Structure 1
Amino acid sequence: MNQLKIIHDDITRVTADAIVNSANPFPICGGSTEALIFDAAGHDQLLEAREKIGYLDVCDVAHTDAFDLNAKYIIHVSAPRWNDGRSGEKTSLKFCYQNAMRKARELGCHSIAFPLLSSGIYRFPKDLALDIARESIEEFLQGDGKDCDITATIVLYDDEAVKISEALFGKIQEYIYANYVPENPQENFEALKCCSFSEEPLGDGQMADDSQMADDSQIIGESEVVAEICDAAPILSKISSKSDFDKSINELLKDPKRFKSFRKKMNEIMTDRSITNSMLARDSDVDRKVLSKINNSDSYTPSKETAIAIAIGLKLNYIEAVEFLSYAGRALSPSSKSDLIVQFFMENKELFYRENPDRNQYKVNTLNTILSTHGENSLGASRSL
Structure 2
Amino acid sequence: MENSCESIAFPLISSGIYGYPKAEALRVATSAIQDFLVDHDIEVFLVMFDKAAFDVSKKLLGEVKAFIDENYVDDYVDYRRQNQFLQVELDAIKAADADAPKSIIFEEMKTGGLEDLVGDLDEPFAETLFRLIDAKGKTDVEVYKRANLDRKLFSKIRRNKGYMPSKCTAIALAVAMELSLDETDDLLERAGYVLSRSQKFDVIIQYFITSCNYNIYEINEVLFSYDQPLLGG
CA distance in 1, matches of 2:217, 2:198: 23
Q: Residue 313 of structure 1: CA displacement?
A: 1.1
Q: Equivalent residue for 1:167?
A: 59
Match of 2:186 among 316, 323, 330: 323
1:290 match: 153
Identical counterparts, % of pairs: 24
The equivalent of 1:370 in structure 2 is 222
- The structural deviation recorded for 1:115 is 4.7
Partner in structure 2 of residue 249 of structure 1: 81
Paired position in structure 1 for 2:102:
none
Aligned to 2:18, the other structure's residue is in SS state: strand
Kept in 1, the 8 Å contact 2:43–2:150? The answer is no
Deviations 1:196-242 (A, max 9, x none): xxxxxxxxxxxxxxxxxxxxxxxxxxxxxxxxxxxxxxxxxxxxx33
* Partner of residue 44, structure 2: 144
Report how far residue 303 of structure 1 moved. 1.0
- Relative to structure 1, the CA distance from residue 180 to residue 280 in structure 2 (aligned partners, 3 Å threshold; closer, same or farther) is same
Give the TM-score of the pair, scaled to structure 2.
0.66
Deviation at 1:318, TM superposition (A): 1.3
Per the TM alignment, residue 155 of structure 1 is displaced from its structure 2 partner at its CA by 7.0
Taking structure 1 as the reference length, the TM-score comes to: 0.42
Q: Using a 3 Å threshold, how does the CA distance of structure 1 residues 171 and 280 change in structure 2: closer, same or farther?
A: same
The ranges of structure 1 where at least 4 consecutive aligned residues each deviate by more than 6 angstroms after the TM superposition are 137-140, 252-258
Aligned pairs (5 A) from 1:87-106: none
Structure 1 Cα separation of the partners of residues 54 and 48 of structure 2: 20
Does 2:58 match 1:114?
Answer: no
Q: Hey, which of these two has a bigger chunk of helix by percent?
A: 2
Q: Which amino acid aligns with 1:249?
A: R
Give distance in 2, aligned partners of 1:139 and 1:299: 33
Change over 3 Å in CA distance of 1:152–1:373 after alignment to 2: closer
Aligned to 2:175: 312
For 2:5, the equivalent position in structure 1 comes to none
Contact 1:134–1:366, Cα closer than 8 Å, also in 2: no
Match of 2:137 in 1: 274
Q: Deviations over 1:110-155 (max 9, x none)?
A: xxx52536xxxxxxxxxxx95x565557899x93336x56447447
Q: Is the 8 A contact 2:133 2:177 kept in 1?
A: yes
Q: CA RMSD in A?
A: 3.4
Letter in 2 for 1:363: N
Given candidates 159, 164, 171, the residue that maps to 1:301 is: 164
In the superposition, relative to structure 1, how do residues 335 and 139 fare at CA in structure 2: closer, same or farther (>3 Å)?
A: farther
Report the Cα distance in structure 1 between the residues aligned to 2:208 and 2:54, rounded to whole angstroms.
Answer: 23
Residue deviations 1:144-180, cap 9 Å, x none?
336x564474476xxxxx8xx1121111111111111
Give runs of aligned pairs for residues 1-385 of structure 1, distance below 5 A.
Answer: 20=15, 73-74=17-18, 114-116=22-24, 134-136=30-32, 143-145=43-45, 150-151=49-50, 153-154=52-53, 165-183=57-75, 241-242=76-77, 245=78, 247-251=79-83, 259-349=122-212, 352=213, 362-379=214-231, 381-382=232-233
Mapped to 1, the partners of 2:141 and 2:131 lie a distance apart of: 16
* Distance in structure 1 (CA, Å) of the matches to 2:191 and 2:50: 33
Look up the equivalent residue of 1:329 and give its one-letter code: G
Aligned CA distance change for structure 1 residues 377 and 289 (closer, same or farther; 3 Å):
same
Q: Secondary structure at the match of 2:24?
A: coil
User: How many Å separate the matches in 2 of 1:252 and 1:133?
Assistant: 46
Q: Partner of 1:310: helix, strand, or coil?
A: helix
Q: What's the CA shift string for 1:285-318, capped at 9, x where partnerless?
A: 1212221221222222111111111111111121
| CA distance in structure 1 between the aligned counterparts of 2:218 and 2:208, rounded to whole angstroms | 9
Q: Secondary structure at the match of 1:116?
A: helix
1:281–1:287 Cα contact (<8 Å) kept = yes
Q: Which residue of 2 aligns with 1:68?
A: none
Distance 2:148 2:29 in 1: 17
The question of whether the paired residues in 1 share the 8 Å contact of 2:168 and 2:229 is answered with no
**Structure 1 regions of 5+ residues with no counterpart?**
1-16, 21-70, 77-112, 118-128, 157-161, 184-240, 353-361
